[in-house]
Amino acid sequence: MNKRNLIIAGKELSSRFFLGTGRYPNPYVQNEAIRVSETAVLTFAIRRANLESPGEDAILQHLDADHSFTYLPNTSGAKTADEAVRIARLAKASGLSDWIKVEISSNEKTLLPDPIETLKATEILVNEGFIVLPYTSDDPILCKKLEQAGASAVMPGGSPIGTGLGILNPYNLSLIIEEAEVPIIVDAGLGSAMDVTQAMELGADGVLMNTPVAKAKDPVKMASAMKLAIEAGRLSYEAGRIPKKRYATASSGLPSSISY
C-alpha cells in the first residue's frame, strides 16, 4: 500500500495513527492527547461503552464535538468467536459503527489472540456486512487467511498487549507487509517512538496504540511524539533506506594520489 493517505474499505483517513481511549488519568488529558495526535480513528472496548445512549457514553462524551472521528469499537473481553460476533452485533445495532476490531483472547495472562476463533469471527462478520479489522498474531499465514476472509485491514501485534516490548519479530512483520493486499496496522506491544518508527519503516500502513500514550508520564507529549514517529517512519520507508553493508564506504571518494 503506497498511497500517501491511508484508505480502508474505500474511506480515506487523514492519519495513520489509530488511538485508544482507555486508561488516561482524566478526560481532559485524554482529549488533549487525542487532539495533538491528530488521529482520525478512535478505538474502545464495546463492553465499556453505553450502547443504550452512545452520545452520553462516558468514553465518548468528552471528545471534541467539532472533530469527526471514525469509531473502531473492539470486542475485547470476548473468548470465543460467538461472543465476539454477539458483541459486534450489539454495537452495530446501537448505531455506533459498522467498523469492528475483532479481538478474541482466551488466555488472561498473555492476552494473545486466538487464531482459530479470530478467523471464524472475521468470516461471520464480513458476511454480515461489517468492516472488519482483526487483531491477530504476527503469523504471516494467518494474516493472509484473514485477508482472504474479507478483512478490510489486518492488525498483527508487535508483541503482547501492554508489554511495551516493541516488535519482537520484524522478519515476520516484513513478510506480512510484503504479501498483503490490504492495509497492515501494527497493533499492540509498542512502547516508544522508536518502536513506532521501526514499524513504519518496515512498511506498515499505520499503528494502533493505547497504553504507550495513556500510561506515559506525559500522555499529551507522548501522543505528539508518536504522531511524529509515524510520519518520520513513513517518509523513511517511502524514501528507501540504503542497503546494509559489512564494510565502510567513504561519503567522499578518496583520491588515488595527493599532490602538494
Kindly state the cell numbers that stand for 97.
459503527
Determine if residue 233 is labeled as part of a ligand binding site. Answer: no
In the DSSP assignment, the letter for residue 172 is H
- Helix (H) / strand (E) element for 41: namely strand 41-45
**Known active-site residue 101:** yes
Asked if 119 contacts 149 with a C-beta cutoff of 8 angstroms, the reply is yes
DSSP helix/strand/coil, 255: coil
In the DSSP assignment, the letter for residue 46 is G
- The contacts of residue 208 (CB under 8 Å, 6+ apart) are 18, 19, 20, 41, 43, 155, 185, 186, 187, 188
Spatial CA neighbour of 229 closest among 168, 258, 259, 186: 186
Determine if residue 188 is labeled as part of a ligand binding site. Answer: yes
Determine how β-strand 70-74 pairs with β-strand 41-45.
parallel
Kindly state the cell numbers that stand for 59.
468514553
Determine if residue 70 is labeled as part of a ligand binding site. Answer: no
Kindly state the cell numbers that stand for 104.
478474541
Backbone angles phi, psi at 78, to 5 degrees: -75, 140
Determine if residue 162 is labeled as part of a ligand binding site. Answer: yes
Determine if residue 189 is labeled as part of a ligand binding site. Answer: yes
User: Angle 219-239/27-37 helices, nearest 10 degrees?
Assistant: 20
Candidates 3, 11, 92, 101; catalytic one: 101
How many angstroms separate the CA atoms of 124 and 102, rounded? 11
State the catalytic residues.
101
Which residues carry a binding-site annotation for 1-deoxy-D-xylulose 5-phosphate? 162, 188-189, 210-211
